């Protein structure tokens, strides 16, 4: 979506907010939660078809998971916003060569999973459903998949989980929200309305959803990798999480961007898994 269209949408919602602030805020939240990409492309099907597909359920959502069976530890992969399981292809191939039992899930409204909207809280519950089914010893999450993985472990304190790997993960939901508000140029009416809607839907203020704060009670051995030039999620988010985590290894990269799809990153990941 071009910047001009983004600003046009923001201006339209701002105008509506003068007459119906709640309606404008609801529409702004719907836009925020609706991915425009991430469904499976034709070019991605061949690789995904090499896995065994298992469909799980969370409430009214059907969650698609993929399994590449191996005899070593089970590793669960959670992708980020507007993506799907295919983003892990290179890493999955490396893990398969080492005979790990690899599982990945498509988030709600992504890949082959059902739904039209997404948020990190529901995603964390879907990760819980997948973890209950597959019993992974390691979970790897990229971007909001990393945030949702942290939310999951904070909530459920899974004792059988040995390691977490968070790649380019955001820390503060307030930061994610703020960047969205600034990108669209929303006025204070809509910003206040968005915060109010979060409280109504989750019984918590946006500030509650802080991975840095949750990290204080996550004792699972964790690897954080974040690129200092990440233009999507600020490097400071990773610093905040690492600062509050008592069992963490923090690796900074330079030049790999938000995606972190790089042989150097994969080596760090494999070394951490094997350690």
> In which order are the strands placed within the sheet that holds 101-105?
52-58, 61-68, 101-105, 74-78, 138-142, 163-167, 221-227, 248-253
Asked whether residue 2 falls in the same domain as residue 87, the answer is no
178-197 tens-digit pLDDT = 999 999 999 999 999 999 99
Q: Taking residues 102-115, report their average pLDDT.
A: 98
- Pairing relation of β-strands 52-58 and 61-68? antiparallel
Looking at 153, 184, 204, the residue that finishes a domain is 204
Tally of structural domains, the chain? 2
Asked whether residue 15 falls in the same domain as residue 146, the answer is no
Q: Taking residues 167-176, report their average pLDDT.
A: 95
pLDDT band with cut points at 50, 70 and 90 for residue 5: confident
Asked whether residue 154 falls in the same domain as residue 115, the answer is yes
194-230 tens-digit pLDDT = 999 999 999 999 999 999 999 999 999 999 999 999 9
What CATH code is carried by the domain that includes residue 164? Answer: 3.40.50.1820
Proportion of the chain above pLDDT 70, given as a percent: 99
Asked whether residue 100 falls in the same domain as residue 195, the answer is no
Predicted confidence at residue 47, as pLDDT, reads 98
pLDDT band with cut points at 50, 70 and 90 for residue 4: confident
Predicted confidence at residue 136, as pLDDT, reads 98
**Average of per-residue pLDDT values in the chain:** 96
Asked whether residue 137 falls in the same domain as residue 197, the answer is no
Predicted confidence at residue 1, as pLDDT, reads 58
Q: Is the pLDDT of residue 2 over 70?
A: no
Q: Taking residues 245-264, report their average pLDDT.
A: 96
Q: Where are the alpha helices (DSSP H) in the chain?
A: 3-17, 21-33, 42-48, 89-97, 120-134, 144-156, 173-184, 188-202, 211-214, 235-244, 263-274
Q: Taking residues 105-112, report their average pLDDT.
A: 98
120-144 tens-digit pLDDT = 999 999 999 999 999 999 999 999 9
Handedness of CA 86, 88, 91, 96 (dihedral sign): negative
26-40 tens-digit pLDDT = 999 999 999 999 999
Looking at 161, 181, 204, the residue that finishes a domain is 204
Q: Is the pLDDT of residue 7 over 70?
A: yes
The b-or-e profile of 136-166 (16+ CB within 10 A means b, else e) is bbbbbbbbbbbbbbbbbbbeeebeebebbbb
Q: Which of 89, 84, 70 is nearest to 138 (CA)?
A: 70
Neighbours of 65 (CB within 10 A): 25
- The domain in which residue 122 lies consists of 40-172+209-274
Asked whether residue 100 falls in the same domain as residue 192, the answer is no
Q: Are 151 and 209 in contact (CB under 8 A)?
A: yes
């Amino acid at each position: 979506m071009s910047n001009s269209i983004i600003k046009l949408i923001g201006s339209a919602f701002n105008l509506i907010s003068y007459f119906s602030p709640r309606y404008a805020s609801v529409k702004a939240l719907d836009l925020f939660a609706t991915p425009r990409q991430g469904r499976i492309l034709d070019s991605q099907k061949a690789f995904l078809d090499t896995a065994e597909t298992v469909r799980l359920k969370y409430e009214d959502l059907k969650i698609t998971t993929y399994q590449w069976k191996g005899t070593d530890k089970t590793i669960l992969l959670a992708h980020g916003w507007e993506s799907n399981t295919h983003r892990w292809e290179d890493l999955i191939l490396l893990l398969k060569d080492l005979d790990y039992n690899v599982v990945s899930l498509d988030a709600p409204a992504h890949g082959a999973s059902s739904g039209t909207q997404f948020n990190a809280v529901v995603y964390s519950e879907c990760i819980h459903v997948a973890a209950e089914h597959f019993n992974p010893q390691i979970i790897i999450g990229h971007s909001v998949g990393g945030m949702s993985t942290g939310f999951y472990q904070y909530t459920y304190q899974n004792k059988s989980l040995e390691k977490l790997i968070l790649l380019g993960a955001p820390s503060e939901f307030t930061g994610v929200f703020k960047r969205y508000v600034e990108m669209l140029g929303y006025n204070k009416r809509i910003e206040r309305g968005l915060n109010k809607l979060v409280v109504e839907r989750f019984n918590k203020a946006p500030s509650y959803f802080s991975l840095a704060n949750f990290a204080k009670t996550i004792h699972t051995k964790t690897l954080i990798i974040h690129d200092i030039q990440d233009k999507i999620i600020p490097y400071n988010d990773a610093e905040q999480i690492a600062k509050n985590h008592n069992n963490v290894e923090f690796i900074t990269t330079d030049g790999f961007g938000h995606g972190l799809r790089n042989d150097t990153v994969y080596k760090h990941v494999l070394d951490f898994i094997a350690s």
